[in-house]
Amino acid sequence: MARDRCPQLCDLEVETPMGYARVRLALARSIATAALVLFLTPQSKAQTVDLSGRYQCAQAKVHGKVIPCKAAPLILKNDGHFELRGWEGSYLVNGQWVELSDSLIKTRAKIEPGHKIVLRYYGKHGLVEMTYERRVAEMGKTALS
């Protein structure tokens, strides 16, 4: 008998129009899917490269000419600090670069294969390129990148 009955006014007031019901259902599915994807996606940790050590100057280029290098070593400490010819500050590894900075100066040096760090700067003789190399492989430190 329920089939023969005509819709009453009270029945129409409690029913939600089909358009809103579909939107709510689609929204609920979207939120559930997004939550599931975020939960199941593996969290990747930032890769930290340990460059700490003592780097000897392997070569220097001034005006494109290679000259013997007698510069002081570049020392990168485990705590994120460095020393270079009396200049002290902190360093940060950022991709293929080592950013050296103190309270006034900030520069960066490129990390190259073979345990090398190349620092380019403008000195009193023009563009200078210093190549520092970690020659002694310490235990557990065999790769820079």
Cα dihedral 122→85→106→145 (10° resolution):
100
Q: What percent of the chain has pLDDT over 90?
A: 32
Q: Are 130 and 117 in contact (CB under 8 A)?
A: no
Predicted TM-score (pTM) above 0.75: no
Contacts of 90 (CB under 8 A, 6+ apart): 80, 81, 82, 100, 101, 102
Query: How far from 100 is each of 42, 51, 62, 81, 119, CA to CA, in Å?
Result: 33, 13, 21, 9, 10
pLDDT confidence of residue 98: 93
pLDDT in tens, 18-76: 667 777 888 888 887 777 666 676 654 444 678 889 999 999 998 889 988 888 999 99
Confidence of residue 7 (pLDDT cuts 50, 70, 90): low
Please give the average per-residue pLDDT across 131-145, as a whole number: 65
- Between 49 and 104, the more confident residue is 104
25 phi and psi angles, rounded to 5 deg? -65, -45
Taking a C-beta distance cutoff of 8 angstroms, is the pair 95, 88 a contact?
no
- What is the widest separation between alpha-carbon atoms in the chain? 104
Residue 7 vs residue 84, higher pLDDT: 84
CA distance 78 to 117: 16
Cβ atoms of 118 and 96 within 8 Å: the answer is no
- What is the per-residue pLDDT for 32? 79
Per-residue model confidence (pLDDT) at position 99: 92
